[in-house]
């Protein structure tokens, strides 16, 4: 994933963009960058590796190195960004978020062309944002270029551009799978993945871009370069899994949606007559927690934090050279609260169950710490299709998905024709699937949120949501 943030203002704005970008740190852990435009200096840029130290540590000296009345920043889980580019579109800084699934084909196309070449990274890899820029450069203006690039790529790409005159161009991906919000202050405008980022900086909500919409922004105002499309497919997982609790997309707050979602999970259990003794309801941190709070609030069962992630310094991966097994380190973060586990019947809510590997380890860890029983609830339906738009689901292909694997075990390829039935917990196939996964992962019981449940908790029209992972609907 990743996220971007930018400001165009009548006053120096680098400190604001510094903090606004930092507020996207939950969206990526590998690279971060800032670009600024100052009339006297032109475009400037700084990128740092943030794998071993957080954004703020790495960029603390940026105020000696750069300045600007317009600036953009980016937190990235993949390639270094923003790039400075010089093309027939002019000089500009650019960052993109999303995923390009057909990059090798697109690169090959570019290289076939006379003069085609790329600056490469270790191993010959091509920076995705560079590829996007190369595609844009096929056309002679930004709007055409962005549209062309978005059409060429299979996947999703939202773009934020800082031009060599200090203006910003923001373009939301064609089907609006990811959000772009715009805030307004007395001095200018902010563009952001997360709206709370600019709110904390004193900007008020102006509006969200529509799917495929392209705008150019200066301190004087917003000019629409391309109106939004009529179709929208915003990713439902923004709410159920990777959005930040304080985030609000399409007017729907993440934390509040999760409470509603957990409440409806509890209602479903009630309707199903679930009556096992439960000492504590808990969430698998971090995203499972608010779903669990909703469940506990609605069910009247006690909420508790039976294990805790050690946060003060564990936000980064680290490996003391050759001295420790990698496995052991992965487990260092979760710390049990024995009194809340030992001899207890526990019900946990997780945001989703993809491959099941991590969840199985977590459940074993609970049993090792003396849990009497561990019931599991998934805050979304079974994941039956690997995401091809955002790659968010940490699963490279359908075959990794535990729901699919269990279905194949239950009745072979034939089962794949009954996916809808399997998804539905009220059918026999649905019950079989839940039972088989529960057995495999050592859950005392397993239930999934229904597709209707999660859509209702979000509250948007179903046609505006991408629910491909669950029902395969493109």
- Sheet order of strands, 446-448 included: 280-283, 345-350, 373-378, 446-448
Q: Is 474 in the site for a second copy (CB under 8 A)?
A: no
CB of 159 to a second copy, least distance (A): 15
- Applying CB under 8 A, among 134, 215, 437, 466 the residue interacting with a second copy is 134
Q: Which of residues 100-129 bind a second copy (CB under 8 A)?
A: 107, 110-124, 126
Footprint on residues 232-271 left by a second copy (CB under 8 A): 244-246, 248, 253, 255-256, 259
> 39, 49, 86, 220: which one contacts a second copy (CB under 8 A)?
86
Question: To 10 degrees, the CA torsion angle through 7, 25, 354, 238?
Answer: -30
CB 183 within 8 A of CB 205: yes
Q: Are strands 248-249 and 307-309 parallel, antiparallel or unpaired?
A: unpaired
Which listed residue (99, 171, 190, 296) binds a second copy by CB under 8 A? 296
Kindly state the number of chain residues that form the binding site for a second copy, as judged by CB under 8 A: 95
Q: Of these, 103, 138, 427, 445, which contacts a second copy (CB under 8 A)? A: 138
> C-beta of 132: minimal distance to a second copy in Å?
11
Smallest distance, a second copy to C-beta of residue 221, A? 26
344 Ramachandran zone, left/alpha/beta (phi>0; psi -120 to 50): beta
Residues 300, 412, 463, 474: which binds a second copy (CB under 8 A)? 300
Longest dimension (CA), the chain: 71
Q: Which is nearer to a second copy, 220 or 318 (CB)?
A: 318
The residue among 159 and 441 lying less far from a second copy, judged by its C-beta, is: 159
Footprint of a second copy on residues 431-470 (CB under 8 A)?
A: none
Q: Does 23 bind a second copy (CB under 8 A)?
A: yes
Residue closer to a second copy (CB basis): 259 or 389: 259
Q: How far is the CB of 462 from a second copy (least distance, A)?
A: 21
- Residue 277 near a second copy by CB under 8 A: no
Cα 40 from Cα 37, distance rounded (Å): 9
Q: Which helix (H) or strand (E) holds 374?
A: strand 373-378
User: Considering only residues 30, 48, 184, 200, which one is a binding residue for a second copy as defined by CB under 8 A?
Assistant: 200
DSSP 8-state code for residue 239: I
Site for a second copy in 330-389 (CB under 8 A): 332, 335-340
- What b/e readout covers 280-307, taking b as 16+ CB neighbours within 10 angstroms? bbbbbbebbbbbbbbbbebbebebbebb
Candidate segments 135-143, 175-183, 382-390, 434-442, binder of a second copy by CB under 8 A: 135-143
| Nearest residue (CB) to a second copy, 93 versus 436 | 93
Q: Report, in Å, the least distance between residue 59 CB and a second copy.
A: 9
Q: 242 or 422, CB closer to a second copy? A: 242
Q: 181 or 406, CB closer to a second copy?
A: 181
Cβ proximity of 182 and 190 under 8 Å: yes
Q: Work out how close the CB of 32 gets to a second copy at its nearest, in angstroms, rounded to a whole number.
A: 10
Name the minimum Å distance from CB 225 to a second copy. 20
The structure tokens listed for 183 are: 């805030």
Distances (CA, A) of 371 to 140, 178, 299, 381, 441: 64, 39, 21, 26, 15
Q: Which residues pair with 90 in a beta bridge?
A: 87
Token couple for 37: 């435009």
Q: Which stretch binds a second copy (CB under 8 A): 40-48, 344-352, 372-380, 419-427?
A: 40-48
CB 295 within 8 A of CB 449: no
CB-neighbour burial class of residue 257 (10 A; exposed 0-12, middle 13-18, buried 19+): buried
Place of tokens 């005159």: 165
Q: Which is nearer to a second copy, 116 or 227 (CB)?
A: 116
Is residue 8 within 8 A of residue 17, CB to CB? The reply is no
- Positions 302 through 341 that interact with a second copy (CB under 8 A): 302-305, 307-308, 310-316, 318, 320-321, 323-324, 332, 335-340
**CA 437 to CA 441: how far, in whole Å?**
6
CB of 101 to a second copy, least distance (A): 19
How far apart CA 282 and CA 288 sit, in angstroms, is 8
Minimum CB separation from a second copy for residue 1, in Å?
A: 13
- Binding to a second copy (CB under 8 A) within 145-164 occurs at 164
Would you say 48 and 59 are in contact if contact means Cβ atoms under 8 Å apart? yes
Residue 98: left (phi > 0), alpha (psi -120 to 50), or beta? left
Min dist. Cβ of residue 150 to a second copy (A): 16
């Amino acid at each position: 994933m990743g996220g971007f943030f930018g400001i165009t203002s009548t006053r120096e704005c680098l400190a604001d963009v510094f903090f606004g970008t930092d507020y996207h740190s939950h969206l990526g852990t590998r690279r971060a960058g800032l670009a600024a435009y100052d009339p006297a200096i032109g475009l400037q840029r700084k990128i740092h590796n943030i794998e071993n130290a957080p954004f703020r540590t790495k960029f603390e000296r940026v105020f000696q190195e750069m300045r600007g009345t317009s600036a953009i920043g980016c937190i990235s889980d993949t390639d270094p960004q923003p790039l400075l580019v010089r093309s027939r579109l002019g000089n500009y800084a650019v960052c993109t978020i999303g995923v390009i699934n057909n990059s090798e084909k697109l690169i090959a196309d570019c290289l076939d062309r006379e003069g085609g070449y790329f600056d490469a990274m270790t191993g010959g890899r091509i920076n995705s944002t560079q590829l996007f820029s190369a595609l844009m450069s096929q056309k002679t203006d930004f709007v055409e270029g962005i549209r062309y690039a978005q059409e060429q790529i299979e996947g999703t790409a939202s773009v934020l551009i800082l031009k060599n005159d200090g203006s910003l161009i923001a373009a939301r991906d064609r089907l609006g799978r990811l959000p772009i919000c715009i805030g307004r202050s007395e001095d200018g405008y902010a563009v952001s993945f997360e709206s709370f980022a600019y709110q904390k900086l004193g900007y008020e909500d102006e509006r969200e871009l529509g799917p495929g919409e392209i705008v150019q922004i200066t301190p004087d105002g917003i000019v629409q370069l391309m109106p939004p499309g009529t179709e929208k497919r915003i990713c439902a997982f923004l709410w159920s899994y990777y959005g930040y609790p304080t985030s609000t997309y399409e007017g729907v707050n993440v934390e509040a949606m999760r409470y509603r979602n957990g409440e409806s999970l509890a209602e479903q259990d009630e309707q199903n007559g679930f009556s096992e003794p439960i000492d504590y309801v808990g969430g698998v941190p971090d995203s499972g927690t608010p779903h669990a709070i909703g469940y506990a609030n609605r069910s009247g069962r006690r909420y508790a934090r039976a294990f805790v992630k050690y946060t003060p310094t564990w936000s980064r991966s680290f490996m003391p050279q050759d001295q420790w097994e990698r496995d052991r380190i992965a487990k260092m973060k979760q710390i049990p609260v024995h009194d809340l586990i030992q001899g207890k019947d526990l019900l946990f809510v997780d945001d989703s169950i993809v491959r099941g590997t991590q969840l199985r380890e977590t459940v074993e860890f609970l049993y090792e710490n003396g849990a009497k029983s561990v019931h599991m609830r998934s805050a979304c339906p079974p994941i039956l299709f690997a995401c091809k738009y955002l790659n968010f689901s940490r699963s490279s292909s359908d075959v990794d998905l535990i729901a699919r694997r269990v279905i194949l075990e239950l009745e072979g390829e034939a089962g794949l024709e009954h996916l809808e039935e399997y998804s539905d917990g009220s059918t026999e196939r649905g019950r079989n699937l839940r039972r088989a996964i529960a057995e495999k992962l050592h859950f005392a019981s397993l239930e999934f949120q229904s597709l209707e449940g999660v859509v209702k908790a979000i509250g948007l029209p179903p046609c505006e949501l991408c629910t491909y992972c669950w029902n395969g609907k493109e």
